[in-house]
A and B are shown apart, each in its own frame.
Chain A
Amino acid sequence: MLFNSWAFAAFLPAVFLIYWKLAATSLRFQNLFLIAASYLFYGWWDYRFLSLIIISSAVDYSVGLGLAATEGARKRKALLLASLLANLGLLGFFKYFDFFIESFAALLATLGFQPNLPSLRVVLPVGISFYTFQTLSYTIDVYRRRIPATRDAVAFFAFVSFFPQLVAGPIERAASLLPQFQRRRAFDADVAADGLRQMLWGFFKKMVIADNVARHVDVIFAGSGDYGGQTLFFGVFLFAFQIYCDFSGYSDIAIGTARLFGFSLMRNFAYPYFSRNIAEFWRRWHISLSTWFRDYLYIPLGGSRLGAFRHHVNVIITFTISGLWHGANWTFVIWGLLNGLYFIPLMWTGRRKKHGAEIAPGRVLPRLTELAAMAVTFAATLLAWVFFRADSLSHAVSYLGRMLLGNPFAGEQIARGVFVPGLTFITAMVAVEWLQRHRQHALEMPGVRRWIRWSIYLAVALSIVTFGSFSQTNFIYFQF
């Protein structure tokens, strides 16, 4: 079920009312209801893939119990390995089987062989990359004795399948989310109201900006061989905002929805396009994934503790694998690698952690140097987004070649007037987010008079109704 669908518009109020009606009964019953609602939410796409979530939940719940009952190091490792094999096995088969087979076949072909390897055209179950990482974090943390194993199967299954963040995150840690299923939730009207505001902003970004500019992005990338540099630049510029508004919009809706049910999810985006270098960008973009890779890959690889060379290698490995996590295509691998390479100069100059959490604190506008740093960082992400969006490596290279090396005014151009509405919405969104950059989300306005706040909410809601796309387009990250 999509957040931006009529089905969800009916599903959410119904589940909300029943859920809070059940609050006076047992916690277990309320959690059971959440599991049922989450399975209905997921099964709306394809009920057959529910079995994968159930398998993943059952494996990690059992492994957790096994780890709790075992002290022997070898047996504990074996249990962890079983969980890794099961989860990464599912992910590997459904997401990467065809990719590896086709890549291997291509490699053999370059060596002069004519392989006839099977390609299964496996259908990718929605959200598999997200929930497998979430359950893995539980098993690894239990293995590391950072959290105790839970004996409450209902709470655990509800934790894995919790519908607001099931299909595209934020990828939660068991230490943070699981205990929330194990204690009674009390309804807090202020938190729920703020959740609705966050959802409202998420819908604005998704339906008004992402889905509207997507039409232009699709046309430009599909016809990139005909367009001149100027149009190609607009294409990737719009894509940068499409993917930001699509994914951060999804995250806002997910976090806001969870708050309606008394749950607190981790922040996933913190205004990343205001970053002053690429390291800061990655502290602000898809935070739940970046921190997952930091905690479960980069640090176990040795992080920065094993000398400069290993540090460089670890950064490159982490980013490259993070790229591959996004999709079974070499374009994502190069996108990850490129972001890793962007880090190297920062490591040489020791500026990786230069910028703190606040941007232009106490000032309305950034300093010129900050603005320049933001522009350079944004330009670097634009180059990388070309690989992320392109269909293949050759497509990305030819796109970049035409955009950067060709005559920007040659070839076919899309009339700039076509972009005006999209650019207007983007400008409005950037302005609002800049003014609210120290807040958790853009519509958080404590201390502002109620009638002003309500006018603003009404204006945002009206702009969704008036300018939003109701074509119920999938969220981009669902494919990952």
Chain B
Amino acid sequence: MLGRPIDVDVRRFVLRASLFLAFLSVANLGLIAAAGRTGIGRSLRFTNLPRRTSSWGGQSMVAFREAKSVSDVDILFLGSSHTYRAFDPRFFDELGWSSMNLGSTAQSPLNTYYMVTPLLDRLAPKVAVIDVYWLVLETTGVEGALDLAQNLPASWAALRMTLATRDPRALNQLVARFLEGQEALERRPVTLRPGDTYVGRGYVEKAADYKEFQEYRPRGVTISDRQLSYLRRVIEELRERGSQVVLVVAPVPQEELQATSNYEEIDARMESWALEMGVAYIDFNKILRLDLQDHFFDNHHLNQEGVSRFLPVFYEEICRLGSWDRLGGSCSTERGL
């Protein structure tokens, strides 16, 4: 029955509809290219248009570029801006351990899965530390995808990531990046935020005197099951390569904890999830209390002073897990505190 030819009128209709879609696609590409060049999308609210490509080459552009020449690292750090603003490679250099920080803006497990796991064969980390800040686990991954699509060379992995976000903004940003060309990306200057210094291997140091606090607004957080399923996939990829995985939550101010109405519930959920997965989970907010004004530069990011207080505690806690053993390190409390 399905072998019969379809009606000629239906075929013509489908052809006309396809022609319209082709026109629409070409016009949309033109708009995306124009927005990528002019930045008009950013000045219009509600828009799915991409941000201006040429003026935005941040930490992730440099970090992933550096990662190309890195292999067999001792420690790999993954996650959002909390990661690239907390794990200073100089601290681990002193211990004689190599490290790479591939955290990026709002990098959620979905983003990590598509953009970082393809690099794991080469990076082959002995220990992988993933920051699981709850606000990132709540996202669809679009913000992280915008940053990575914009700052990394267009690739199939990037296409898969943008499609996985199910948000046209991510795909449009990738298309704008593709239309910009590879040479433009290589020529693009590094633009960091005020007060930032790019230290190397993905880490960004924030000047201790830089502040941009905002009023805290109470809110509840819902962890996305989809992000947890991507986190599971990331962990499995790491384990397949023999990496030991540790989930952490870098410190945030007490004010942030108080503003998160269901913080205890989220923490308990993550703890039991990690237990089920058989990975360690350490929420440093339960171990270390830092001061908003002295140790943070905004509502939830550490400044360099905060980092220097946090890392020794981090070292000690990971020591207790025995993770450093595989790096040939000794767990001396003198080193840590």
Contacts and interface: CB of A to CB of B under 8 A. Distances in A.
Interface of A: 6, 17-18, 20-25, 29, 187-189, 192-193, 196, 212, 418, 420-422, 454, 457-458, 461-462, 465-472
A471 B166 CA distance: 8
A454 B19 CA distance: 11
A193 B276 CA distance: 54
B68 interface: no
B166 A465 contact: no
Interface string B9-49: 11011101100100110011001000000000000111111
Nearest to B49: A466
Given A25-B1, A467-B46, A187 B9 contact: yes
B265 interface: no
Given A187-B7, A454-B20, A470-B167, A17 B27 contact: no
A187 B2 CA distance: 17
Which 9 residue pairs are nearest across A and B when measured between Cβ atoms? A20-B10, A421-B45, A189-B13, A421-B46, A25-B1, A189-B9, A24-B4, A461-B24, A21-B6
Contacts of A421: 44-46
A422 B24 CA distance: 23
B27 A22 contact: no
Given A193-B16, A458-B23, A462-B28, A470 B168 contact: yes
Contacts of A18: 2
Given A17-B6, A18-B2, 14 more contacts: A6-B166, A22-B2, A23-B7, A187-B9, A189-B10, A189-B16, A196-B17, A212-B46, A422-B46, A454-B23, A465-B48, A466-B28, A466-B31, A470-B48
A24 B9 CA distance: 13
Contacts of B48: 465-468, 470
A420 B43 CA distance: 13
Contacts of B14: 17
A17 B27 CA distance: 27
Interface in B34-78: 44-49
A418 B116 CA distance: 37
A198 B7 CA distance: 23
Contacts of B44: 421, 467
A21 B4 contact: yes
A188 B7 CA distance: 11
Looking at B6, B166, B167, B168, the one whose CB has the most chain A CB atoms below 10 A away is B6
A196 B19 CA distance: 14
A345 B204 CA distance: 70
A466 B13 contact: no
Nearest to B28: A465
28 contacts: A17-B10, A20-B6, A21-B4, A24-B7, A25-B1, A25-B4, A187-B10, A187-B13, A188-B9, A189-B16, A193-B13, A454-B20, A458-B20, A458-B23, A458-B27, A461-B24, A462-B27, A462-B31, A465-B24, A465-B48, A466-B28, A466-B31, A466-B48, A466-B49, A467-B46, A467-B48, A470-B48, A472-B166
B220 to A, nearest CB: 12
A25 B17 CA distance: 25
A462 B23 CA distance: 10
Nearest to B12: A189
A477 B247 CA distance: 42
Nearest to A215: B46
A311 to B, nearest CB: 47
Nearest to A19: B10
Contacts of B45: 418, 420-421
Contacts of A467: 44, 46-48
Given A17-B14, A25-B4, A421-B46, A462 B9 contact: no
A462 B49 CA distance: 11
B42 to A, nearest CB: 13
A316 to B, nearest CB: 41
Contacts of A188: 9
Interface-centre pick from A22, A29, A212, A465 (highest chain B CB count, 10 A): A465
Nearest to B26: A458
Contacts of B9: 187-189
Contacts of B16: 189, 193
Nearest to A188: B9
A188 B13 CA distance: 9
Nearest to B163: A6
B304 to A, nearest CB: 35
Contacts of B6: 17, 20-21
Contacts of B28: 462, 465-466
A471 B48 CA distance: 12
A471 B169 CA distance: 11
A20 B7 contact: yes
